[in-house]
Structure 1
Amino acid sequence: MNIAVAADGQNLNSEVSEQFNSCNYLLIVNMNNSNIIAIKNGDDLSEEKLANEVINYDCEAIITGKLNSTAFEILTAACVTRYFGVGYSVETALNLMEQQLLKYIKNPEGTDKCEGHHHKH
């Protein structure tokens, strides 16, 4: 199972980024074997491309800070679970996610309140 983490650095000791689109790296962590793929967030990666990388690596979830509406909609449409991990290292956030102790991101503002306006009926 792959989990994406928007991070300030390239390893498990790095902090989770406060903003998805301005993270320094998108880490793809294989939870089965602990392999990490670090994708540098450069000028060529828009928020849309970054969100699509999460989908391309078949990630079941993402741990991040605030998502803007475009990335939020892309990830939501692909059924990627979104967790708020700001304030934690990547390693700690992954452990908290596994223990179901991270808050869900239910709206583009990054909170766990479900406003209902982003659901398709």
Structure 2
Amino acid sequence: MNIAVAAEGENLNSIVSDKFEKCLYLLIVNMNDLSIKTIKNEKPCKGLSQKNLADEILKYDCEALITGDIQLTAFDILADEGVTRFFGAGYSVEKTLELMDKRSLKLIRNCNGTDSCSGNHH
């Protein structure tokens, strides 16, 4: 199972980004062996678009994304494909993976960060 993490660095000790589209790296973590595929967001202000980042997550068949805030475009792409979104900003990648396993991370139910579901996304 692959999990995507929007991170500020390239390893498990890196901090999860506050904003999905401004992450420095997108880490694709294989949960079976904790191996990592690193995708660098060359210029976070002008780098991979929300759509491109979301497409990378789908390309690697990720079941979930751990991030901070997420904008509508990426949210809709991922929600439409059934990718679960978790809020983990401020924690290390390793800690968020542990919290996700324990079902202790907050779900991102909509791009506004509230607990209500929007549209057809559940």
- Do these two structures clear the TM 0.5 threshold for a shared fold by scoring above it? yes
Question: Per the alignment, in what secondary structure is the counterpart of residue 17 of structure 1?
Answer: coil
Q: Does 2:62 align with 1:59?
A: yes
Task: Please report the TM-score for the alignment, with normalisation by the length of structure 2.
Answer: 0.92
CA offsets, 1:68-112, max 9 Å, x none? 00000000001000000012000000000000000000010233x
What residue is the counterpart of 1:14 in the other structure? Answer: 14
Task: Please report the TM-score for the alignment, with normalisation by the length of structure 1.
Answer: 0.93
Residue 64 (structure 1) shift: 0.2
* Superposition CA RMSD, Å: 1.2
What residue is the counterpart of 2:83 in the other structure? Answer: 80
| 2: CA distance, partners of 1:30 / 1:7 | 15
Matches within 5 A, 1:21-60: 21-42=21-42, 43-60=46-63
Structure 2 residue identity aligned to 1:6: A
Residue of 97, 104, 114 corresponding to 2:116: 114
Moved more, 102-111 or 41-50: 41-50
**In percent, how many aligned pairs have the same letter?**
55
Unmatched tracts of structure 1, length 5 or more: none
Assess if the C-alpha contact under 8 Å between 1:6 and 1:17 holds in 2: yes
Question: Per the alignment, in what secondary structure is the counterpart of residue 49 of structure 1?
Answer: helix
How many residue pairs align between the two structures? Answer: 118
